[in-house]
Amino acid sequence: MNVSVLKDYEAMSKAAAEKIAELVNANPNALVCFAAGSTPIGTFEILADLAADKKVDFGSCKFVGLDEWVGMDKTDSGSCQETLWKTLFLPLQIKEENICFFDAKAKDLQQECQRVDQYIMDHGNIDLMLLGIGVNGHLGFNEPGVSFNSLSHVVNLDQNTKSVGQKYFETERELSKGITLGTQHIMDSNTVILIANGAYKAEAVHRMIHGEVTNELPATILQTHRECYVYLEEGAFRR
């Protein structure tokens, strides 16, 4: 685990974006997976600027979604898909046929899990993941107690996740289940980049880096990943 502490959110976002650009330039046909949410938005903005300046090209990349709230899709404001389309896919002019995302409104969610698992297998695992970390240490919707051998699955969301998740929506939404890639996908990926900002994340980040590897704080599994880069705004780093 390579940990870098940056002076502020902008510097953290820039460091992550430059590492992503470096990796994509080295592997233009990469299968990539980027988390939604508020933390990566600065990184996405810098990537869009780099792409506009011809310093990175995502045109040959394939994208797979990390997670989604069950019952939502890209037509739902605040959903993971809608957020990624607005902040990443449209600015980078990504073609829809190059994106594989969970249909979290599907009648058969287990079949959706199998479909996405097969997509990843067909592309030889994920080359690059950009993740955030939850206050409870989750990665995607891999909540405390998750099996470290998990592939795509439907999960009953942790109370903390349900509470924090309301910030993405203009009106209160019923958030009970999520659908997510599993920790096995994360561990099988070639490179993981994790970003975190804000003092409220400091405890989870500290345990992720220094704590015992345990599924009670899923992010601790990244201690054993073969190539993991962690970029922290200094407020999220407890010395």
Q: Which of 91, 97, 69 is nearest to 81 (CA)?
A: 69
AA identity, residue 152: S
In angstroms, the Cα distances linking 93 to 4, 16, 59, 65, 96 are 30, 20, 8, 16, 9
Strand order in the sheet with 228-233: 2-6, 228-233, 191-196, 128-131, 31-34, 62-64, 99-100
State which H helix or E strand residue 90 sits in.
Answer: none
For residues 27 and 50, what is the distance between their CA atoms, to the nearest angstrom? 16
Q: Which residues pair with 34 in a beta bridge?
A: 130
Q: Could you give the residue ranges of the DSSP H alpha helices within 8-107?
A: 9-26, 41-52, 80-84
Residues with active-site annotation? 67, 136, 138, 143
